[in-house]
Every structure is written in C-alpha cells, then in structure tokens.
C-alpha cells in the first residue's frame, strides 16, 4: 500500500476529491498553507493499493492545473535575496506536488 500526499491549489481540491470518490478512492482533505507564498492550499491524503496507484496519479494529473500568481515580495524575501525589489512578480504554482511513500501497516478499527 502507498500513502499519496498531494498538495494542490484550493481551486482544484474539490474537483479532485470528487474525481477520486467517483473512482472509488478514499481521501482526507486538510487545509494547509504554502511556506513560500503563505497562501492557503489543500493537502489531500490518499491511502491506495499499489495496483491502483497509477489510477490515482492519473486523476490528480487530470484535475489539477498550473496557474500564475502575481505576488508582491515581502521584505523578508528581499532580505534573503529571493527577489531583488518589492515589485510584483509572477510565480507559477502547481498543478500538484505529489509525494508517494510506502505504508508499513494499515488498519481500520
């Protein structure tokens, strides 16, 4: 079994969960916040059988898309040299950041 941890934009999270339910996957949606933009996003946890991993990844690829966000860098970002000036910059976010880990043990009581 695998644990798929997927970080998606809030705009895509509802559609993705619907698609997962339709395909028979169980999932948990958590509200989260990116460390860089400090903007809200969603983290979805999915426990899946190895044989269904590809199907789950396909659902994620089909339902999450990349968007461009325009941000004004915060003073800390400028100090850290990530951006040279406090002018709006475009940052490409998502579709999805996906981590797949092996599950050692799983039980539902």
Q: Write out the residues near ligand 2BA by the rule CB under 6 A.
A: 7, 34-37, 39, 41, 82, 91-94, 97
At closest approach, how far in Å is the CB of 17 from ligand 2BA? Answer: 17
Residue 59 has phi, psi (to 5 degrees) of -60, -40
Nearest residue to ligand 2BA on Cβ basis = 34
Contact in structure between 25 and 44 (CB atoms under 8 Å):
no
Q: How far apart are CA 98 and CA 5, in angstroms?
A: 6
| Per-residue CA distances from 54 to 4, 6, 42, 75, 86 (Å) | 11, 14, 21, 42, 42
Report the candidate in 44, 47, 25, 59 with the shortest Cα–Cα distance to residue 97. Answer: 44
At closest approach, how far in Å is the CB of 86 from ligand 2BA? Answer: 15
- 1 or 74, CB closer to ligand 2BA? 74
At closest approach, how far in Å is the CB of 35 from ligand 2BA? Answer: 4
- 6 or 48, CB closer to ligand 2BA? 6
At closest approach, how far in Å is the CB of 11 from ligand 2BA? Answer: 13
């Amino acid at each position: 079994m695998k644990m798929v941890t997927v970080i998606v934009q809030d705009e895509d999270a509802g559609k993705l969960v619907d698609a997962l339910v339709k395909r028979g996957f169980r999932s948990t949606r958590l509200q989260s916040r990116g460390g860089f933009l400090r903007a809200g996003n969603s983290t979805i946890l999915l426990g899946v059988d190895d044989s269904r991993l590809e199907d789950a990844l396909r659902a994620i690829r089909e339902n999450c898309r990349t968007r461009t966000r325009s941000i004004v860098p915060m003073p800390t970002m400028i100090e850290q040299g990530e951006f040279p000036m406090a002018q709006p910059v475009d940052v490409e976010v998502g579709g999805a950041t996906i981590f797949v880990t092996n599950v050692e043990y799983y039980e539902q009581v």
